[in-house]
């Protein structure tokens, strides 16, 4: 491993020179096994690696993340996928190992946002995971190791230019970190806060019951938020993020954005959507986009304009607002984390529409009583963690 690596350019082509290097003169903790990762690739790689490493340490399960623009589009720990999830993630034709299943879940919950992602794996990339990566639109992957078969598969992707990065899993960064902005150097201690079930013991709500699955999901949510650009909110179900709202100036907008993504994830599982009569040969990306249109109000325009013939063998019936709401009303057991306190009960009102039953947030708002009362109104169990997870 070298002390520095020259990059083609920074965030944009006009930003030169560009490099990554170790200020202390030590060796970089990464090796490029294939391709030529860029500045943004490495930002995604280092943030996503920290996320999956912490998820694996906290749960003992293989973990994966799908990153875009220095925030996770999705993250997951290994939980066996149902036949329905395998179908909506387009992996029902593959044999999946635990590592491959974790990445399928991380990428599958929000496939539109994950298009062209950077993947992170907590454990060695095996052939099954490589085959999944090879057929998706992805910029690169970081993992602590790769099997020979996996490397052979990945080196053929993108005409041999796919970015494959190996990180030293034993690397420990300096306890103090620096960032230059406008010629001024900022310094802070690294956020080494350990996130585990111990943060979920203060429950001010009437409902004080957290199942083991809920604790796991809340931990997944909080660790995901730790590496999501703030403000941020994350919905989790069955060990995977199903909706991430990142970088919004208003918390309720985070809650709405993430909630809409969670709704889309669940709507895709409705039999009416699962049984859409797609034509043979429609690409996965086109299916994703078409499904998003179908489960939204704009599908009425598609029907009127006759555009359905591009994708379907026959005209599907519209998925009405009433049908969508009736299906969403069966959604339950969702966990929700927030990187800072909820200032108003409107966040809870929106969250419960997406089946949220468990919440973890720092607490500390002058309106905590209103937030607690709103949770009690719907029987939601909420933990005050006492810790903020801003990431900038």
The residues annotated with a catalytic role in the active site are 68-69, 231, 392
Helix axes 39-59, 212-226, angle to 10 degrees: 160
How many contiguous H segments (helices) and E segments (strands) does the chain have? Answer: 14, 15
- Are 94 and 112 spatial neighbours (Cβ–Cβ below 8 Å)? no
Give residue for tokens 């020179």. 17
Query: What is the DSSP pairing of strand 71-77 with strand 334-338?
Result: unpaired
The span from the CA of 126 to the CA of 292, in Å, is 31
Q: Which two tokens stand for residue 251?
A: 């918390």
Query: What is the DSSP pairing of strand 232-237 with strand 63-68?
Result: unpaired
Q: How far is CA 50 from CA 108, 178, 185, 225, 307, in A?
A: 21, 17, 23, 12, 44
Three-state DSSP state, 244: strand
Cis ω on the peptide bond leading into residue 231 (within 30° of 0)?
Answer: yes
Three-state DSSP state, 234: strand
Q: Which two tokens stand for residue 390?
A: 């801003």
The span from the CA of 69 to the CA of 17, in Å, is 21
């Amino acid at each position: 491993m070298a002390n520095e690596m020259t990059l083609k350019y920074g965030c944009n082509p006009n930003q030169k020179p560009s490099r990554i290097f170790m200020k202390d003169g030590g060796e970089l903790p990464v090796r490029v096994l294939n391709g030529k990762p860029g500045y943004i690739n490495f930002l995604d790689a280092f943030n996503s690696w920290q996320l999956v490493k912490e998820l694996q340490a906290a749960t003992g399960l293989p973990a994966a993340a799908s990153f875009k623009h220095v925030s996770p589009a999705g993250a997951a720990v290994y939980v066996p996928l149902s036949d329905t999830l395998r179908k909506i993630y387009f992996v029902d034709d593959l044999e999946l190992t635990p590592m491959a299943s974790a990445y399928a879940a991380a990428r599958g919950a929000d496939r539109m946002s994950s298009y062209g992602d950077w993947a992170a794996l907590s454990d060695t990339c095996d052939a099954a995971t490589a085959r999944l990566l090879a057929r998706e639109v992805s910029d690169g992957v970081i993992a602590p190791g790769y099997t020979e078969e996996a490397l052979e598969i990945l080196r053929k992707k993108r005409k041999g230019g796919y970015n494959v990065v190996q990180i030293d899993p034993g690397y420990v960064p300096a306890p103090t970190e620096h960032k230059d902005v406008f010629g001024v150097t900022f310094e802070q201690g690294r956020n080494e806060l350990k996130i585990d079930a111990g943060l979920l013991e203060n429950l001010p709500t009437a409902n004080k019951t957290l199942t083991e699955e809920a604790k796991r999901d809340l931990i997944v949510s909080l660790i995901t938020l730790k590496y999501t650009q703030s403000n941020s909110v994350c919905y989790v179900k069955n060990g995977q993020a199903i909706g991430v709202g990142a970088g919004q100036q208003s918390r309720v907008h985070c809650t709405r954005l993430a909630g809409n993504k969670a709704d889309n994830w669940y709507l895709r599982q409705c039999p009416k959507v699962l049984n859409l009569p797609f034509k043979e040969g429609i690409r996965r990306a086109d299916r994703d986009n078409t499904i998003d249109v179908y489960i939204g109000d704009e599908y009425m325009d598609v029907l009127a304009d006759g555009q359905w013939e591009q994708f379907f063998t026959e005209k599907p019936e519209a998925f009405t607002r009433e049908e969508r709401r009736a299906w969403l009303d069966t959604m339950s057991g969702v966990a929700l984390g927030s990187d800072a306190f909820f200032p108003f009960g409107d966040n809870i009102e929106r969250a419960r529409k997406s089946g949220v039953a468990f919440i973890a947030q720092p607490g500390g708002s002058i309106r905590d009583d209103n937030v607690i009362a709103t949770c009690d109104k719907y029987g939601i169990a909420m933990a005050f963690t006492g810790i903020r997870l801003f990431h900038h």
